[in-house]
Chain A
Amino acid sequence: MKFGVVVFPGSNCDSDAYHVIKDVIGVDCEYVWHETRDLSDFQALVLPGGFSYGDYLRCGALARFSPVMDSVYRFVDEGKLVIGICNGFQILLEAGLLPGAMLSNNVLEFRCQWVNLRVENTKTPFTCLYEPGEVIRVPIAHHEGNYYAEPEVLEELERTGRVVLRYVDASGNPTAEANPNGAAHNIAGIINEKGNVFGLMPHPERCSESILGSRDGRRVFLSMIKSLETGALLS
């Protein structure tokens, strides 16, 4: 099993994701330069956080036209796993691999802080090792994480269980105060219809070792490994 971490010009959480997968968890992992077109070696891809192309124009908008993205579409069609973290999520939205778009945080500031998240759906290849409704602590760090989608789209996401993570308070309630950026329905992470593309604003790779204050993020990667190993949850 091999993970690939895509490196766009301006990616800056690439080495963090690589470190967790390779050094902390111990699964084979390689960087994938954004001009690469052959992804056949990999079973799972990480689109990491950062500022691809400086996040100029709109976050993720320019990265979407990187050569690797053609292959990413095919990779997704083949049912392999793709996780987009922060900027990676923004790229997935711009690329149309997930629905919706990101607006500026309603606080109009970059926000780096810990948040509480409720795991809404554990029947995904990215969250199968969490308990349903479990509240986890994960950091965010972004300026544009205010998720927006048209009402019909939101309704469908909710109805089909595709809202995977939601910002909540310490006791698990999705309150306005617990929403750090104004995201619709307190959405922090969503999955595509097929269930193999996951985008989230929080950074699980920043909380996968106890020395960093929480290991709550590690199970995202472990879930991916488990579902790749067992083939469960993969259509």
Chain B
Amino acid sequence: MAEISQTAPWREMGLKDSEYELIKERLGREPNYTELGMFAVLWSEHCAYKHSKPLLKTLPTKGPAVLVGPGENAGVVDIGDNLACAFKIESHNHPSAVEPYQGAATGIGGIVRDILAMGARPVLLLDSLRFGPPEDPKTKFLFGGVVSGIAGYGNCLGIPTVGGEVFFAKPYAGNPLVNVLCGGIMKHEDLHKGGAYGVGNVVMVVGHSTGRDGIHGCTFASDVLDDDSESKRINVQVGDPFMEKLLIEACLEMMACGAVVGIQDMGAAGLTSSCAETAARAGTGLVIDIGKVPMREEGMNAYEVMLSESQERMLLIVSADKVDEVKRIGAKWGLHAAEIGRVTDSGNLEVLHNGVLEASIPVSLLAMGAPEYTPEAREPEYLRKTREFSGESVRAPEFSEMKGILLKLLASPNIASKEPVFRQYDYMVRTDTVEGPGRGAAVLRIKGTKKGLVFTTDCNGRLVYLNPKAGAAWAVTEAALNVAVTGAKPLAITNCLNFGSPENPEVYWQLKEAVQGMAEACKALETPVTGGNVSLYNESDGEAIYPTPIVGMLGLCEDIEKRITPGFKNAGDLVAVLGKVWGDARSLSGSEYLEVAHGMVAGDPREPALDLARGIIEVLTECAREGVLSSAQDLSEGGLLVALAESCIHGEEGARGCAMSPKALGCGGREDIRADAMLFGETNTAVVVSFAASNEEQVAHICRQNNVPFAVIGRVQESALAVDTCGGLRVLEVPTDEIAHAYSHGLEDSLRG
């Protein structure tokens, strides 16, 4: 035992000296090597949220529809008809940086098991991805691997990948982001939780055998990527989607027969975390014998078995009289279902190896004893410069340049169609996908009801970089408007906070501000946070990524037949803006236009007007109920003109164009107005809608009632997008075919380039 303190192995395992001292003190003795390993993984940032917990506590988590909030494997929200939706987002950034295919694939595997652990059938996936510049050869390698990994795993499971995001920017070059969201549906009575209740109940491992793969994966995830990461590659876990598919079916069957008291997936830190967390939630203890764990390699010791991150495994707490039933179902699906221990009242996790005690640790210390840190926060130096941006910083383009700029924006990989990505995903399996990827938020019907589930993921890291508080709030409002333009009501969010090292005061400041912005927006929009994930240490070569707090939002569509879609429907319909288009220089802050046309990342994005966002959501849901809108599309990257272009591209035959003038938005007489900002400036408190002229009065009335500015800016026409100045001068006219061409080839062209 003495040698432990001499060789200090905890440092290599990622524990600080002070943490080791704390363990020793709380344990009242020196931990042995296996115990130390167990502490190291559970006290890693990935599992213990050491640097983020105090911040996360400030997020709103309660609401009338929330059935299960943060703390369980996934949040659960009531969606009526005795149904509930479990959903959560999770990151797999570090594994994907090293081995993109397997990293992304096992990311899907992990999040699906989280949803399964709540008792829900997983029914949808979204993927939110960030890469370096598309022309960078490393990006091509990472992009190709990640997308095919998601396809390879998700398609095999038969869970449709119905939406997501892809965003390219330099700060992600060495450290891509791979965040995946899974949603599942269940009846209220099928809700399960991850607690090891009932002394005497049986602990079982179901699914794959255990090998040496992925040992210390979560300490790796809490580390900065460097050249040494290459040597950590042997940590890579290989996904087996076929096994996961069987595991889903088997676990659902096991839960349905009433055998399962508690269930938890074995993700990061494998057996250690699943045992410690289930026991901690229930206030019990566990005794397990790892000699009974099905293994795929010989001679594995306690340390290896407890830390293995072999995929496709679940931990089940089974009532003692139902063990045989669980074994029978396991055998039916060709899975291991092994009895490895029992629930005790000791409060300890006791690990035996063929009867010999190898570890004994209080579960509360393991699962909840990690220290919390409140690091120093300092406003980043770079903000002084980026905030200097003003109207004088960029030349206003001539009218004659507008067409070129529009086409360039549409072809920019951040705006262009992501079809080269999502055509590799089976987004139709299960026959519920009513609006699939490529047209805004995904809409899925719920068979047997009139309802629809709506999902989106959103975050523009560039905006968060320039103003973390505003950018994070913006991610929430953008997601909410994405949901609302379908006519659905935003219900709740899950989030994944992707940041650099919290030990860097500037990064910690970003994190703190972003969480505040997210909290404020969620409170204002009444979309509580039901769960999520924190991924820190996203850096390479000393440079942090853009701070990227990704928001995954769930909305509910009361009547799916009344949903609204983004494409124009009828020539002659009026086109209007609901909300606020600023049209001033500040609205160019962090815009795609500023980067694409001027090569600048600068400015200070406005904090979203949350009251206005709320009003717009009200207006859209009411309009959907009344059936008065033909189309709706929110403004995001690329601003007003790109939003209109997208409504043209998705338009019905004969209604694929629009003629507009910003006159009604109040350009006359305002000094601060600029044409480029009017057309390409970004705001997230505005949407463009179209409707039959006969509905104008009703739409206007609904807007007035909700204090939402309403301005008719043009009409739907057959096949071209045209813009007139306030003075009536036609400054732009582009055939929609040309627009559609730029939009649909942009991504492939830039990856080829």
Known: A111-B423, A141-B155. A10 touches B242 (CB 8 A): yes
Chain B residues near A111 (CB-CB < 8 A) = 423-424
A13/B423 contact (C-beta < 8 A), A51-B242, A211-B560, A212-B434 known? no
User: Residue A156 at the B interface, CB < 8 A?
Assistant: no
CA A203 to CA B243, docked complex, whole Å: 24
Contacts of A113 in B (CB 8 A): 423
Against A, the Cβ 8 Å flags (1 = close, 0 = not) of B241-253 are 1110110000000
Per-residue contact bits, chain A 14-47, to B (CB 8 Å; 1 contact, 0 not): 0110011001000000000000000000000000
- The answer, yes or no, to whether A109 is at the interface (CB within 8 Å) is yes
Known: A10-B242, A12-B158. A206 touches B431 (CB 8 A): yes
Chain A residues, Cβ within 8 Å of B158: 12-13, 50-51
Which of A19, A54, A203, A206 is in CB contact (< 8 Å) with B156?
A54
Q: Mark out the residues of chain B between 391 and 436 whose CB falls within 8 Å of any chain A CB in the assembled complex.
A: 422-431, 433-434
Q: List the B residue with the shortest CB-CB distance to A24.
A: B431
Check A53 for interface membership: any CB of B closer than 8 A.
yes
Bound complex: CA of A15 vs CA of B447, how far in Å?
Answer: 12
Instruction: Please name all residues of chain A whose beta carbon is closer than 8 Å to the beta carbon of B428 when the two chains form the complex.
Output: 112, 139, 141, 203, 206, 212
Q: Are A19 and B447 in contact (CB under 8 A)?
A: yes
Contact call A141/B426, Cβ cutoff below 8 A = yes
CA distance A56 to B239 in the complex (A): 13
Q: How far is the CA of A20 from the CA of B431 in the complex (A)?
A: 10
* Alpha-carbon distance A141/B427, docked complex (angstroms): 9
Q: Does A205 contact B (CB under 8 A)?
A: yes
| Beta-carbon contact of A9 and B246 below 8 Å | yes
A179 to chain B, nearest CB (A): 15
Least Cβ–Cβ distance between A5 and chain B, in angstroms: 14
Q: Which residues of B contact A12 (CB under 8 A)?
A: 156-158, 245, 429
Chain A residues within 8 Å of B151, by CB? 109-110
User: Which residue from B148, B423, B430, B434 sits with its C-beta under 8 Å from A16?
Assistant: B430
Q: Are B156 and A112 in contact (CB under 8 A)?
A: no
B242 touching A110, Cβ below 8 Å: no
> In the docked arrangement, what's the CA distance between A54 and B425, Å?
16
Contacts of B447 in A (CB 8 A): 19, 23
Does B445 belong to the interface (CB within 8 Å)?
yes
B423–A54 CB distance below 8 A = no
How far, in angstroms, from A12 to B431 measured CA to CA in the complex? 11
Please indicate the chain B residues that have their CB under 8 angstroms from the CB of A169 in the complex.
Answer: none
Closest to A17 in B: B431
Query: Any chain B CB within 8 A of the CB of A55?
Result: yes
Q: Residue of A at shortest CB range from B434?
A: A211
B333 at the interface (CB under 8 A from A): yes
Whether B334 is near chain A, meaning CB under 8 Å from some CB there, is yes
Q: Say if the beta carbon of B240 comes within 8 Å of chain A.
A: yes
Complex contact A56–B242 (CB within 8 A)? yes
- Min Cβ gap B164→A in Å is 14
B242 touches A16 (CB 8 A): no
Q: How far is the CB of B678 from chain A (nearest CB, A)?
A: 36
Complex Cα–Cα for A54 and B445 (A): 27
Which residues of chain B have C-beta atoms less than 8 A from A10's C-beta?
156, 242, 245-246
A51-B245 contact in complex given A110-B155, A141-B426, A211-B560, C-beta closer than 8 Å = yes
Chain B residues whose C-beta falls within 8 Å of the C-beta of A53 in the assembled complex: 242
Q: Which residue from A15, A109, A211 sits with its C-beta under 8 Å from B430?
A: A15
- Of the candidates A19, A51, A55, A111, the one having the most CB atoms from chain B within 10 angstroms of its own CB is A51
Residue of A nearest to B435 (CB): A213
Chain B binding site: helix, strand, loop or mixed by DSSP?
mixed
B424 touches A110 (CB 8 A): yes
Q: A16-B429, A51-B155, A211-B560 are in contact. Are A9 and B424 (CB under 8 A)?
A: no
Chain B residue contacts of A50, Cβ below 8 A: 158
Q: In the complex, A122 Cα to B242 Cα: how many Å?
A: 37
Q: What DSSP secondary structure best describes chain A's contact surface?
A: mixed
Distance A105 CA – B285 CA, assembled complex (angstroms) = 53
Given contacts A10-B245, A211-B445, contact A141 B429 (CB under 8 A): yes
Chain A, 68-117, CB within 8 A of any chain B CB? 109-113
Q: How far is the CB of B67 from chain A (nearest CB, A)?
A: 25
**B-side interface residues, number (CB < 8 Å):** 31
Nearest-neighbour CB distance to chain B for A18, whole angstroms, equals 10
Beta-carbon nearest neighbor of A209 in chain B: B431
Most buried by B among A12, A109, A206, A209: A12
CB distance from A178 to the nearest CB of B (A): 15
Shortest Cβ distance from A20 into B: residue: B431
Q: What chain A residues lie within 8 Å of B155 (beta carbons)?
A: 51, 110, 141, 143
Complex Cα distance, B151 from A209, in Å, reads 26
Quick check: A9 and B242 within 8 Å, CB to CB?
Answer: yes
Rounded to whole angstroms, the CA-CA distance of A23 and B246 in the bound complex is 25
A180-210, CB < 8 A from B:
203, 205-206, 209
Inter-chain CA distance A129–B157, complex, in Å, is: 33
Min CB gap B19→A, angstroms: 42
When distances are taken between beta carbons in the complex, the residues of chain A under 8 Å from B334 are 9
Q: Give the nearest-CB partner of B448 in chain A.
A: A23
In the complex, what residue of chain B is closest to A12 when comparing beta carbons? B158
CB-CB contacts below 8 Å: B77-109 with A:
none
Q: What CA separation (Å) do A143 and B445 show in the bound complex?
A: 26
> Which residues of A lie under 8 Å from residue B246 when comparing CB positions?
9-10
Most buried by A among B155, B427, B560: B155
| B241, closest chain A residue (CB) | A54
8 Å CB contacts to A: which residues of B135-152?
148, 151-152
**Closest B-chain residue to A19, C-beta based?**
B431
Inter-chain CA distance A210–B426, complex, in Å, is: 19
Taking the nearest CB of chain A, how far is it from the CB of B163, in angstroms? Answer: 13
B429 surroundings in chain A (CB, below 8 A): 12-13, 16, 49, 141, 206
Which of A9, A15, A112 makes the CB contact (< 8 A) with B333? A9
Given contacts A110-B424, A111-B423, A211-B445, contact A55 B156 (CB under 8 A): yes
Contacts A110-B151, A110-B155, A141-B155 hold; do A16 and B424 have CB atoms under 8 A apart? no
Bound CA span A10–B157, Å: 8
For A19, the chain B residues whose CB sits under 8 A away are 431, 447
Interface membership of chain B positions 268-296, coded 1 if the CB is closer than 8 angstroms to chain A and 0 otherwise? 00000000000000000000000000000
Residue in B241, B243, B426 whose beta carbon sits within 8 Å of that of A110 in the complex: B426
Contacts of A13 in B (CB 8 A): 158, 429
Chain B residues in 8 Å Cβ range of A112: 422-428
Cα distance, A55 to B155, chains bound together (Å): 11
| Smallest CB gap from A108: residue in B | B148
CA–CA, A139 and B431, complex, Å = 11
Closest CB-CB distance, B242 to chain A, in whole Å?
A: 3
Interface centre among B246, B334, B428 (most CB of A within 10 A): B428
Per-position binary interface string of chain A over residues 128-163, scored 1 when its CB falls under 8 Å from any chain B CB and 0 otherwise: 000000000001010100000000000000000000
Shortest C-beta distance, A67 to chain B (Å), equals 13
CB of A54 within 8 A of CB of B157, answer no
Give CA–CA (A54, B240) in the complex, Å.
8
Nearest A residue (CB) for B242: A54
Contact: B424 with A51, CB < 8 Å? no
Query: What is the bound-complex CA distance between A112 and B430, given in angstroms?
Result: 14
**A54 vs B158: C-alpha distance when bound (angstroms):** 11
Do A16 and B156 form a contact, CB below 8 Å, given A10-B246, A211-B445?
A: no
Given known contacts A10-B156, A12-B429, what 19 new A-B pairs fall within 8 Å (CB)? A9-B242, A9-B334, A12-B157, A13-B158, A16-B429, A51-B242, A53-B242, A55-B242, A110-B152, A110-B155, A110-B426, A111-B423, A111-B424, A112-B424, A141-B428, A206-B431, A211-B561, A212-B431, A212-B434
**Which B residues form the contact surface with A (CB < 8 A)?**
148, 151-152, 155-158, 240-243, 245-246, 333-334, 422-431, 433-434, 445, 447, 560-561
**A-B residue pairs, 7 tightest by C-beta:** A12-B158, A54-B242, A51-B156, A141-B426, A16-B431, A110-B424, A112-B426
Some 27 contacts from A to B, beta carbons below 8 A apart, are A9-B245, A9-B246, A9-B334, A10-B156, A12-B156, A12-B158, A15-B430, A19-B447, A49-B429, A50-B158, A51-B156, A51-B158, A51-B241, A51-B245, A54-B156, A54-B243, A54-B245, A55-B156, A55-B242, A109-B151, A111-B424, A112-B426, A112-B427, A141-B155, A203-B428, A211-B434, A212-B431
